[in-house]
Copies of this chain bind each other. A is one copy, B any other.
Amino acid sequence: GSESSSEPASTAEPGKYQTLQVTKEDGVYKIMLNRPSKKNAINYEMYEEWGQALNEAAQDKDVVLAVVTGAGDLYCSGNDLGNFANVQPSDITAMAKKGGDILEKFVNAFIDFPKPLIGLINGPAVGVSVTVLGLFDVVYATDKATFHTPFSALGQSPEGCSSYTFPKMMGTAKATELLLFNKKITAVEACERNLVTEVFPDGTFKSETEARVKEYAKLPKISLQKSKNLSRDAERQKLYEI
């Protein structure tokens, strides 16, 4: 009956992921960032697991497309600053290298993902969780979402290919405010800047976007994959180099 659509999807391998809740149903592979008590901040384990889950979705023949969302009222608060805590001065170089390697592997999982990747941004998004959105294929957001990339305030530089994808989608004049000058924008502003595909009222966000994703997953898998890669192949080399 009509209730079947509201039943939760079953987790294929319970306990496989510590920081994510991963489900698979009707061709949709859903990754939910699942550290709500830490505002879904990305610690080393989540970087690894998120990339691993994407690779799993890429290889699974039953998966038509993948979706990423956050548990609770936030999407993701960005890099977990705990990643940098308790580092001894003598370990800084080694830790910077480790962090760089983990990040590169994480970003490459997005660059290489061969199927449609859809972001369902259920609340505020910060840092690297925003910058990698430029590597998604569709981004739907609740009107309560905000987007913030405060890299230069922390003495850092933008990541996740955003120095390439953001100017491409919104022009340099608008990308610079975000990536250099730490401007926080609303979901509507993010949509005007082509970072977000469409904004939904928070009350119907979940039901409306789930219905769309369900429809998309019924389309011919091979055709979707071929179409996505027509675009991606042309710029994959450029994305690796950034």
Inter-subunit contact B152/A220 (CB<8 Å): yes
Q: Do A173 and B158 touch (CB < 8 A)?
A: no
- Any B CB within 8 A of the CB of A109: no
Which of A125-179 touch B at CB < 8 Å? 133-134, 136-139, 151-158, 163-165, 167-177, 179
Pairwise interchain contact A155-B231, C-beta atoms closer than 8 A: no
A182 contact set on B, CB distance < 8 A? 219
Residues of B within 8 A of A170 (CB): 171, 194
In this complex, how many residues of chain A approach chain B with their Cβ under 8 Å: the count is: 54
A61 close to B (CB within 8 Å): no
Name the segment of A26-34, A39-47, A66-74, A221-229 touching the other chain. A221-229
* Contact pick for A172, options B156, B169, B176, B238, CB 8 Å: B169
Given contacts A157-B226, A231-B163, contact A172 B134 (CB under 8 A): yes
Could you say which residues of chain B place their CB within 8 Å of the CB of A169?
Answer: 171-173
Further contacts, 14 of them, CB under 8 A, given A152-B220, A169-B171: A137-B180, A138-B181, A152-B223, A155-B222, A156-B223, A163-B231, A167-B231, A168-B171, A171-B194, A174-B197, A179-B227, A180-B227, A180-B228, A181-B212
